[in-house]
């Protein structure tokens, strides 16, 4: 049961990495420092003071960067592969009891995959915001993403099973929406603003 809960923590943090790369890692570091997250001996450095300071600074720079025009675009380009790496690391940190081959295989497939899926959604939302508002709404979108990263990260540490259940329900709902013939929509119908034919 403890192993299952640890995996839920890792996967929940991996999902949060799709919103922000460093916020979940900072929460993991704080959780490890406070003894709320079980870390193996190889991962004890995550709760150390240097790691906490480094992740804190990186988090501030990342969150602040999304408020600066053009910098947010650069961060979006870098964030996609970085989210996969961060999600894999977060998941692997909670699978320390596994054999290294199984640990990293599962971490990359599950943790990296979840982070990539969430990151893909955020990229699509930001692209829609840029296309419809000329980027004026991007700071609000960034604030929402940061808030979601924080809420999901803290929830993953405090109530990991709830986060995984909600994520699974969300995935199921999206898949069912697009696969059900009666609810299927074309990409043109999903656009926020429809272009009228002249």
- List the pLDDT tens digit at each of the 198 positions of the chain: 677 888 889 999 999 999 999 999 999 999 999 888 888 788 889 999 999 999 999 999 999 988 887 787 788 788 889 999 999 999 999 988 888 888 999 999 999 999 999 998 888 888 888 888 877 888 888 899 999 999 999 999 988 878 778 777 877 877 776 676 554 455 445 444 444 444
- Considering its fold, how many domains does the chain have in total? 1
Q: Assign residue 63 a region: left if phi > 0, alpha if psi is -120 to 50, beta otherwise?
A: alpha
> Dihedrals φ, ψ of 171, to 5°?
-65, -45
Residue 125 lies inside a defined structural domain of this protein: yes
What's the pLDDT score for residue 198?
Answer: 40
Residue 124 CB partners (closer than 8 Å, separation 6+) = none
**So what's the pLDDT on residue 180?**
60
pTM of the full structure: 0.80
Domain contains 167? no
The pLDDT value recorded for residue 2 is: 76
Q: Is residue 143 part of a domain?
A: yes
Alpha-carbon distance of 179 to 185, in angstroms, equals: 10
* Residue 10 · residue 92 · CB < 8 Å: yes
Residue 67 lies in a domain: yes
110 is in which domain, residue-wise?
Answer: 2-161
Q: Is residue 43 part of a domain?
A: yes
Residue 110 inside a domain? The answer is yes
Report pLDDT for 193: 46
Query: Would residue 175 count as lying in a domain?
Result: no
Q: For position 42, what pLDDT does the model report? A: 85
Is residue 101 in some structural domain?
Answer: yes
The gap from C-alpha 3 to its chain's centroid, in whole angstroms, comes to 21
Tell me how many degrees the CA angle 135-137-138 measures, rounded to the nearest 5: 65
């Amino acid at each position: 049961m403890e192993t299952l809960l640890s995996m839920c923590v890792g996967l929940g943090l991996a999902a949060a990495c799709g919103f922000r790369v460093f916020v979940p890692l900072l929460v993991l570091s704080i959780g490890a420092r406070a003894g709320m997250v079980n870390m193996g001996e190889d991962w004890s450095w995550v709760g150390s003071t240097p790691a906490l300071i480094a992740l804190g600074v990186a988090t501030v720079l990342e969150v602040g960067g999304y408020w600066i025009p053009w910098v947010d675009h650069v961060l979006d380009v870098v964030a996609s592969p970085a989210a996969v790496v961060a999600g894999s690391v977060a998941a692997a940190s909670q699978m320390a009891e596994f054999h290294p081959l199984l640990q990293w295989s599962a971490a990359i497939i599950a943790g990296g995959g979840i982070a990539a899926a969430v990151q893909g959604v955020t990229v699509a939302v930001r692209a829609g915001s840029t296309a419809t508002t000329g980027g004026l709404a991007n700071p609000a979108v960034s604030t929402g993403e940061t808030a979601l990263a924080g809420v999901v990260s803290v929830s993953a540490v405090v109530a990991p099973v709830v986060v995984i259940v909600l994520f699974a329900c969300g995935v199921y709902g999206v898949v069912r929406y697009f696969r059900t013939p009666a609810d299927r929509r074309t990409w043109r119908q999903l656009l926020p603003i429809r272009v009228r034919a002249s």
